[in-house]
Amino acid sequence: MVDNTVDQRIEYLEGSNLGFSSKKIDCSNLGTDDGLLDLGTKFELINSTDSLGKWHSILVPLSELCSTQSLSHVYFTIYRDTSLFVGQQQYRSYSGTNHPISSGQAGTYTPPPRYKRSVEEEEGEEVMNVTSQTVPLTPCARQTSLPTTPVMSATVLNNGVAVSVASTSDVTMALLRFNVSTLLRPLHGNLKVTWWDVGRRQWADTRQCEIVSDSDGILEAKCTHLTDFAIIVDAALNDPNVCDNALITLGYVVNGLSIFSLIFLTFFSIAAYIPSLSNSRLYSYVRGHNLARRDFLALAYHFDLLLFYVFFTVFSNQYISGTMCTPMAAVMYALLLCSLLLTIFQALRNIVVFLPSTVYHILKILLSTPAVLSISVAIPFTLSIFLLVFTKFFDRQDCFCWVRPDYVVAAIIIPVTVLLFSTVVCTSFMIYKVFCGMKRKFSQGGHHYDPNVITKIVSIVVMQISLGLPWVLQFGTLYSPYTTFWHYLFTIVLGSQGTILFLIFLYKRYRAWQSESMLKSREPSFKDRSKKKLAKKEDSLGSSTDTFNEY
């Protein structure tokens, strides 16, 4: 039809699902390049790349092609969906949209169904006729899925013969622009620009177009042949944490160990407030003579981490949490940030006693238990609610209820920077005071030597490094459709916080036992003197400043 028409140009630009344009070409008197633009409500002709804006478009560089061969016609077609491109392979739809809750356009993500192929289907696959469709792969496998973007086509003719490849190799024949600003990026693969293979009746996995730019919501690609082009998602749809049985089992093991460790530490902290338990021989033996008996912040910290691990172990899989996946992710993110802030306040409490009396009394109010708890709860939950409502930070679209690591600022930079700053400042200050004079000068004016200050420094550094590592390691899991070393490392480190706390507790108990044995061997009256010292210590500020001594 295009080749036989007498019209210079044919246009159909008002269609709701299809736009079409064709024109005759005179290579000896060629103007500008030609193309078609999809404005969303209508289609429009284009003849340059300067005013394309953030719209889907396809353009053929006619001046470049005419310099190497003869052409008579060019025509363009834009299909607003892929429903006309049906073959033997059935594709899943990629429904990830970048609309937050605040936009009013956000939809609830439904996990893709898990198709199970029967033995009969596998045996009869070779004799399947071309009109039937194969069942899609499991969402845990790497596959091609189709986002809600258009199919754009271009064809050039030379007196009725289609020219699909340039006479000179590697010459760009089509320039494509896709608006992907409303498309949520896949976490376990990549966006690719490919073409419809007519012979195989499926989207091609070879000779794909080269992506030259992907920024500001616009993906640009160039192709060395002409046919029907579209964006595909080449990725696994579900996260390995809900697919890989070995990784799932590892997660249950490390999270279970942390849960049991935190149950013990939480119960141990609560027991300090129950006289019948705190006065028992068993509690006194486990506690050790130089461990603080009561610390409400330590209790809050242990309980916060315990809640996190219970929520993470049970609700991180969307097949369990269902439509509450993103709210559950927001709660878990807030709980983990709470523990992060509490460790920072623990470090600050350990250095406040070195400061001048005027600064000490000011920080004493800011570091009081009510103030610390209020800040540690209010900031994380306020931040989580903001990110839940106004961003897609918790919407992974892969059945794993957690944060999106590609939000680098919120997922990595903020938590790691805060932890590093606290670790460097507090640890450096404590080391300076310890090694430049082995006595701590309290703001009240006295001097006191703390034999456990090195242990406290090591404990702070270990806890803050272990809290900061998961935020960095999760970045290594990005864009891989398979389970990698980073997935295992992320699972182990994230799930080991409670276990690390318990090991630090055992180490401190071992140091306390060593110290107690040494003092007993030197002083027969140690027991009476240590009881008086402990009773005095529990009523003093000194025990409250050594926060989290139950580690």
CATH of the domain at 441: 1.20.1070.10
Whether residues 134 and 149 share a domain: the answer is yes
Maximal CA-CA distance, the chain: 115
Q: Which single residue is written with the structure tokens 């039809």?
A: 1
Whether residues 276 and 425 share a domain: the answer is yes
Q: Contact, 380 vs 332, CB < 8 A?
A: no
Angle at 327 between CA 322 and CA 329, to 5 degrees: 90
**pTM score of the predicted model:** 0.81
Burial class (CB in 10 A: 0-12, 13-18, 19+), 542: middle
Q: Contact, 292 vs 546, CB < 8 A?
A: yes
- Give dist(CA 348, CA 361) in Å, integer: 14
Residue type, 304: D
Number of domains into which the chain is organized: 2
CATH of residue 211? 2.60.220.50
Whether residues 470 and 346 share a domain: the answer is yes
CB atoms within 10 A of CB 432: 12
Task: Name every residue whose Cβ is closer than 8 Å to that of residue 484 and which is 6 or more positions away in sequence.
Answer: 476, 477
pLDDT tens by residue, 10-35: 889 988 899 999 888 887 777 677 88
Task: Name every residue whose Cβ is closer than 8 Å to that of residue 286 and which is 6 or more positions away in sequence.
Answer: 268, 509
Q: Does 3 reside within a domain?
A: no
Q: Which single residue is written with the structure tokens 């633009």?
A: 37
Domain boundary among 236, 265, 292: 236
Q: What pLDDT is recorded for position 400?
A: 94
Q: Which residues of the chain have pLDDT under 70?
A: 1-7, 31, 47-51, 103, 114-133, 166-169, 288-293, 353, 430, 433-457, 460, 464, 522-551
Q: Does 170 reside within a domain?
A: yes
**Which phi and psi angles does 103 have, rounded to 5°?**
-75, -20
Domain boundary among 236, 251, 284: 236
Q: Contact, 54 vs 181, CB < 8 A?
A: yes
- Residue 67, domain extent: 9-114+129-236
Angle at 501 between CA 497 and CA 506, to 5 degrees: 145
Whether residues 260 and 373 share a domain: the answer is yes
Q: What pLDDT is recorded for position 130?
A: 43
pLDDT tens by residue, 322-370: 999 999 999 999 998 998 888 888 777 777 767 777 777 777 788 888 8
Q: What pLDDT is recorded for position 452?
A: 60
Q: What pLDDT is recorded for position 450?
A: 53
Q: What pLDDT is recorded for position 165?
A: 78
Q: Does 436 reside within a domain?
A: yes
Angle at 252 between CA 251 and CA 254, to 5 degrees: 65
The DSSP annotation for 20-54 comes to EEEEE--GGG--S-EEEEE-SSSEEEE--SSS--S
Task: Name every residue whose Cβ is closer than 8 Å to that of residue 501 and which is 6 or more positions away in sequence.
Answer: 261, 262, 265, 302, 305, 463, 551
Whether residues 223 and 304 share a domain: the answer is no
Q: What pLDDT is recorded for position 448?
A: 46
